[in-house]
Structure 1
Amino acid sequence: YGAFEVKQKVGAIYDEPVGAEELEDIREDARGRVFTRAAKPASPNIVPVPSPDGDEDGRRLVGVKVDGEIKRGFPTPSGRLEFYSRTLSDWGWDEFAIPTYIKSHVHPDNLEEDQTILISTFRLPVQIHTRSANAKWLDEIAHTNPLWIHTNHAAKLGVRTGDLLRVETEIGHYVVRAWVTEGIRPGIVACSHHMGRWKLSEQGQRQLMATVKLDHEGTEWGLKREKGAEPYESSDPDTLRIWWSDVGVHQNMTFPVHPDPISGMHCWHQAVRVKRAEAGDNPGDVFVDTQKSREIYKKWLAMTRPADKFSPDGTRRPYWMLRPLKPARESYRLPEQEPDLVGVESSLL
């Protein structure tokens, strides 16, 4: 088994003095950044960190001088905590180079009158990761994900805890049971993440996974639950003690691609319409139109500022920024010729 020890009494790393063994043939620039010829010390810590560029003579950035002392500093191009981001400015986002407020896609000003905000990213304390479904005790404690809805909101819809609701997104909907509570802000609903796992056959994990039927006609896809969790024989006698059947709903498929125009990270919060379930709706039902999903993806793609037009140095993205398993520097270079995206799109369709 792997094991590691968490270092104690770490403190503020940025304020640590840089040791003499790392200060070889140093050079300080006009901004107080200090560069060194010394190689970076070996470390068992494999946590990825940003990698600001060194100087033109091949030295690496080792720290920043503060009050006459060389401190470790921050892993940024300036070595300091940056309130002005030259990186954002250089890459075409000058209006966001200093901290500011950005109205998101679920800001009240961007919602229609009958829409509400869905929080889809919160986790129940015992189901915080995909792997937690393999822990039988955790599965017994929490195995479904009802929609948290405030009592006032529920009263307007005429629903009680356990009633079926239809949650409509831009590209489809899912059917889920209501959890009426005052533990959530009025006008907000929430459905916990890492629930609603499904499979197309009887094989595989059973205590937290439903067997479903997946159908589609054209670009419209539908998922119907055929069987929930149930007791079964195995080498573990506890599998015969499974008393629950509801394993929640897989809501992720109903979320269109919302890549943040600057970072590319997915914007998880959703603007939804919450309604009473319709005739024929059953718990766990999911419906999605992939054509609508593609249209929304193109809409968000149009909000980006492409590297081939805004890159200050002919690269795809800033090399210094944090990235796990960072590719070689040459992989960041933009191609001399644009790829045939039309051909790629045709093959995907």
Structure 2
Amino acid sequence: SGNLGGWQVARTMTFLGALMGSLATEGGTFPNSWNKFTPKPPRLPHQHPTRWNDVLWPNEYPLALMEMSFLMPYLMEDQDSFVDVYFTRVYNPVWTNPDGFSWIEMLRNESRIGQHIAMTPTWNETAYFADYVLPMGHSSERHDLTSYEQYDGQWIGFRQPVLRAARERLGEQINDTRDVNPGEVWEENEFWIELTWRVDPDGSLGIRKFFESVKDPGQKMTVDEYYSWIFENSVPGLPDAAKAEGITPFEYMRRYGAFEVSSKVGKVFEQPVADAELEDVRVDEAGRVFTRAPIPPSPKAPGGTKIDPDKEGRRRVGVRVDGEIVKGWPTPSGKLEFWSRTLHEWGWPELATPTYVKSHVHQQNLDSDQMPLITTFRVPVQIHTRSANAKWLDEIAHTNPLWIHPQDALRVGIEKTGDLVRVETEIGYFVLKAWITEGIRPGVAACSHHMGRWKPEGHEGQRIGMMTVAIDQEGSEWGLKRKKGGGPFESSDPDTLRVWWTDVGVHQNLTHPVHPDPISGMHCWHQAVRIKPAQPGDSFGDVSVDTSKSRAVYDKWLEMTRSASEHSPNGTRRPWWMLRPVRPERSAYDLPKPELSGV
């Protein structure tokens, strides 16, 4: 994720794995999500959205893997867009995303964002620029389903709000997590159900029905009923396991918290297609097998790739290999594609096969006084911005010095570990302490993620892992200056008086311009920087950014793209087969017709 064209690295590694026969094997690697299980909820919409959202899926990035959310401030400006109500849900773009000052500009601009609501379990920098801050539960304060790829099987886990579960086991009747959670923490499930009923009280908008009780139509669905339905209808094997113990599936999951759906997934692509799915079969010249049999019912939530039917309306069900019909891969060809027709047809023929893409921080792309800054490495005891309130983790790791090799330190004039250093990016600079070490390669510097958390002056909130800062703005020029670091303070927790450190790091992401890969859409995190001793007036923790320069860098990377409007082979915004959350109707994929002039 650090380099321009980094997606080709993953593709090339997969190609090598295929040559070695190590895909979906013991000791090998499995495709993304094959070992996860996502059960189907009680109600699903029967109609997909009919409109395309250009802010999430812009014309310039038709092959992007995910939404281009980190470009939102620029896309909103380019498209002159307005969002009436914007939720940042467990999302801290001001701190986590590159170029956070551009996010602050957008969130404060009422012509772009009407109302901003921050739903967050942990106080964060983005919340300071919200109209409402809604404290949602941590994993121990809410219900949730989880499933992770950990072995050649599939399992599902059930999180429960600890205090609610404990009080109910003591015989109390709890109807709302706010009755037991600390403060005003409200379980997210309950919030969305309640909000839906408030927005659509009589059901005329057609959204309330998704949270109406299945057992008692017309009544509000409870969280218990929601998960009970899933465990009874969407988790294969769970009802039988529960019945063997004389309890309901919901009671089983409340007792054990996890259930193994499958002990072995294996090579799905080699699994034979069931005879029931082979009806009026047609095999094309590429070996793809099409059938008129309907898609069999599945307990899993819908998703995955969408492959076009044949000319007579049959759906693709698999591929023929050595005379046998097997499931194959979820690609247009049904096979692992060494040559990608999609890349070829959508304007990137030179990258249709696995090949080398020169990184934006390749030595040939750097000036003589620049070097790559590695910003993606992380310490093992912190979790993005979610663990700044974990006192024991903060004691172990609470600062992020600049890792620099002795040869480079000597070259740029840094004398010793602990000296203040200015790191200059394309849009600004930040000031931090040096750590001179042979633990990093010469010619490369690094600054770890996690640290550099802050809150503006005049605000209360988390204090162990956060510094208090002053934020200044003059036109497009922004500055952030540390006013107070960490240190001991009095609270209901006696350990806060034992805090012995004041250094909580520096916020480097503010100085990173956006680097959207023109194909995958990912942000290319590595930075080309100039490192020098701190300049007169510099202080530890200083950050300076010019957002007009941020815009210039965005425009430069935008020039690298090949838009759908210029390269789409069939007049659509994006290949239909590719993954997309909240997939709209097929008609929404059509590019708008050009307006005729002079008629």
TM over 0.5: yes
Q: Distance in 1 between matches of 2:486 and 2:579?
A: 41
SS of aligned partner of 1:316? coil
Residue 144 of structure 2 aligns with an amino acid whose one-letter code is G
Question: How does 1:37-48 map onto structure 2 within 5 Å?
Answer: 37-44=293-300
Quick check: 23-32 or 157-166, which moved more? 23-32
The Cα offsets for residues 170-192 of structure 1, whole Å up to 9 and x where unpaired, read as: 11011111122111111001111
Q: Distance in 2 between matches of 1:74 and 1:19?
A: 16
With the length of structure 1 as denominator, give the TM-score of the two structures: 0.89
Alignment check: 8 A CA contact 1:122 1:193 kept: yes
Alignment check: 8 A CA contact 1:21 1:38 kept: no
TM-aligned CA deviation for residue 21 of structure 1: 4.1
Q: Distance in 2 between matches of 1:224 and 1:210?
A: 10
Counterpart check, 1:281 vs 2:568: no
Quick check: 21-30 or 152-161, which moved more? 21-30
2:89 matched to which residue of 1?
Answer: none
Residue 416 of structure 2 aligns with an amino acid whose one-letter code is R
Q: Distance in 2 between matches of 1:212 and 1:259?
A: 29
2:160 matched to which residue of 1?
Answer: none
Question: How does 1:1-349 map onto structure 2 within 5 Å?
Answer: 1-3=143-145, 4=156, 5=259, 7-36=262-291, 37-44=293-300, 49-156=304-411, 157-200=413-456, 201-337=458-594
TM-aligned CA deviation for residue 285 of structure 1: 0.9
Note the aligned Cα RMSD (angstroms).
2.1
Residue 138 of structure 1 aligns with an amino acid whose one-letter code is L
Q: Distance in 1 between matches of 2:549 and 2:539?
A: 23
SS of aligned partner of 2:318? strand
Alignment check: 8 A CA contact 1:27 1:35 kept: yes
Q: Distance in 1 between matches of 2:512 and 2:359?
A: 16
Quick check: 86-95 or 22-31, which moved more? 22-31
Q: CA 1:202 to 1:77, structure 2 compared with 1: closer, same or farther past 3 Å?
A: same
Quick check: 240-249 or 95-104, which moved more? 240-249
SS of aligned partner of 1:167? strand
Quick check: 226-235 or 203-212, which moved more? 226-235
TM-aligned CA deviation for residue 126 of structure 1: 1.4
Q: CA 1:238 to 1:319, structure 2 compared with 1: closer, same or farther past 3 Å?
A: farther
Higher helix content, 1 or 2: 2
SS of aligned partner of 1:138? helix
TM-aligned CA deviation for residue 337 of structure 1: 4.6
Residue 192 of structure 1 aligns with an amino acid whose one-letter code is S
Residue 271 of structure 2 aligns with an amino acid whose one-letter code is E
SS of aligned partner of 1:253? helix
Q: Distance in 1 between matches of 2:288 and 2:410?
A: 61
Alignment check: 8 A CA contact 2:477 2:547 kept: yes
Residue 2 of structure 1 aligns with an amino acid whose one-letter code is D
SS of aligned partner of 2:328? coil
SS of aligned partner of 1:159? coil
Count of residues paired in the alignment: 337
The Cα offsets for residues 9-66 of structure 1, whole Å up to 9 and x where unpaired, read as: 32232222233344344332221112333315423467x5333333334433332221
The Cα offsets for residues 145-202 of structure 1, whole Å up to 9 and x where unpaired, read as: 1111112212322332211111101110111111221111110011112221222143
Q: Distance in 1 between matches of 2:267 and 2:513?
A: 40
Residue 82 of structure 1 aligns with an amino acid whose one-letter code is E
Alignment check: 8 A CA contact 1:35 1:54 kept: yes
Q: Distance in 2 between matches of 1:122 and 1:264?
A: 20
Structure 1 stretches lacking a partner, 5+ long: 339-349
Q: CA 1:65 to 1:296, structure 2 compared with 1: closer, same or farther past 3 Å?
A: same
The Cα offsets for residues 193-233 of structure 1, whole Å up to 9 and x where unpaired, read as: 22212221432222222211111112111110111223333
1:344 matched to which residue of 2?
Answer: none
Q: CA 1:254 to 1:43, structure 2 compared with 1: closer, same or farther past 3 Å?
A: same
Q: CA 1:16 to 1:284, structure 2 compared with 1: closer, same or farther past 3 Å?
A: farther
Residue 76 of structure 1 aligns with an amino acid whose one-letter code is T
Q: Distance in 2 between matches of 1:25 and 1:235?
A: 72
Alignment check: 8 A CA contact 1:144 1:249 kept: yes
Structure 2 stretches lacking a partner, 5+ long: 1-142, 146-155, 157-258
